[in-house]
Amino acid sequence: MDNWRVYPFTLSIVLMFLFPVIHGWGFDGHYTVCRIAQARLSGAAADAVEKLLSVTSEKELGNLCIWADRVKFRYHWSSALHYIDTPDSLCTYQYDRDCKDENNTRGRCVAGAIRNYTTQLLTYNSDSPNQSQYNLTEALLFLAHFMGDIHQVWDDNIIETSEKRFYDSNLEELIEAIQQNITAEWADRVKGWETCGLNETACPDIYASEGIKAACAWAYRGVSEGSVLEDDYFLSRLPVVKMRLAQGGVRLAATLNRIFG
């Protein structure tokens, strides 16, 4: 029986709630979210993304979805934007209570960052994409990455293990399997995933609340620090990981479609 070791997180870390020194979903998780999203973009959104990526050497959003992790050490101010630090004893999320950095600056968490970069991208003008007061290419890359972060419950161990065991270490096959689930097994849920209430462009508080509930229900239930976890844990949690990746991709696409029309 295969064993695999989980990092010894505390509850506040589980909620992606990850501290910035940890790489979270890793390249594969973020790439998967962005690949799912790019395939679901409207014509206008796909055109806007292409124009904003034209200043880079990449045409695929997935290849740049890890960018925000790589610039944390240059943009030190961005480290707090990758996670939410919720109270250890609670399985709830409240924006006013939890979305702040170590200096108690309100709005400096992954939910606040999604709001901020969504607002910046709403200034995009297709006729003059480079005339905004903001760096909209960076805003796009931050938003894409943070949409992955806020849907994370585990680190990338489960993703990598599933690739090796079920997909011959082929990430594209894993992505294809998730996309098939989106159009089949989860098809009746997709509309709900895409929808934001009150005509909001993005609704990160909903995503964050889902994340902490999933963490409490699945990630560390019945697990002690430093545990070696076996197949029962892996196989029961893998469907949750796949669904969170799917939700991240579907919601990133829906948000970009609302932003760019």
Question: Can you tell me the distance from the alpha carbon of 151 to that of 22, in angstroms, rounded to the nearest whole number?
Answer: 15
CA distances in angstroms from 134 to 44, 56, 256, listed in the order given: 20, 16, 17
Question: Can you tell me the distance from the alpha carbon of 162 to that of 58, in angstroms, rounded to the nearest whole number?
Answer: 27
Mean pLDDT of 49-76: 94
Contacts for 118 with CB less than 8 Å, ≥ 6 apart: 143, 201, 202, 255, 259
Predicted local distance difference test score (pLDDT) of residue 39? 97
pLDDT higher than 50, residue 7: no
Quickly state the pLDDT bin for 255 (edges 50, 70, 90): very high
Between 57-61, 63-67, 75-79, the lowest mean confidence (pLDDT) is in: 57-61
Predicted local distance difference test score (pLDDT) of residue 157? 86
Residue 257: both structure tokens together: 């479609």
pLDDT higher than 90, residue 144: yes
Predicted local distance difference test score (pLDDT) of residue 232? 80
Predicted local distance difference test score (pLDDT) of residue 198? 82
Higher pLDDT, 216 or 52: 52
Q: What is the DSSP secondary-structure string of 237-259?
A: HHHHHHHHHHHHHHHHHHHHHHH
Average pLDDT for the chain? 87
- What angle in degrees, to the nearest 10, is found between the helix axes of 157-166 and 171-183? 100
- For 108-127, how does the pLDDT look when each residue is reduced to its tens digit (9 = 90+)? 999 999 999 999 999 998 87
- For 80-101, how does the pLDDT look when each residue is reduced to its tens digit (9 = 90+)? 999 998 887 788 999 999 999 9
The helix/strand/coil state of 182 is: helix
Burial degree of 167 (CB within 10 A; 0-12, 13-18, 19+): middle
Report the percentage of the chain scoring pLDDT > 90: 69
Predicted local distance difference test score (pLDDT) of residue 227? 65
Mean pLDDT of 185-207: 95
Higher pLDDT, 182 or 8: 182
Mean pLDDT of 5-18: 34
Using alpha carbons only, give the angle 251, 92, 229 rounded to the nearest 5 degrees. 80
Contacts for 6 with CB less than 8 Å, ≥ 6 apart: 154, 155, 157, 223, 227, 229
Predicted local distance difference test score (pLDDT) of residue 2? 39
Structural domains of the chain, ranges and CATH numbers in brackets: 4-260 (1.10.575.10)
Higher pLDDT, 87 or 32: 32
Report the percentage of the chain scoring pLDDT > 70: 87
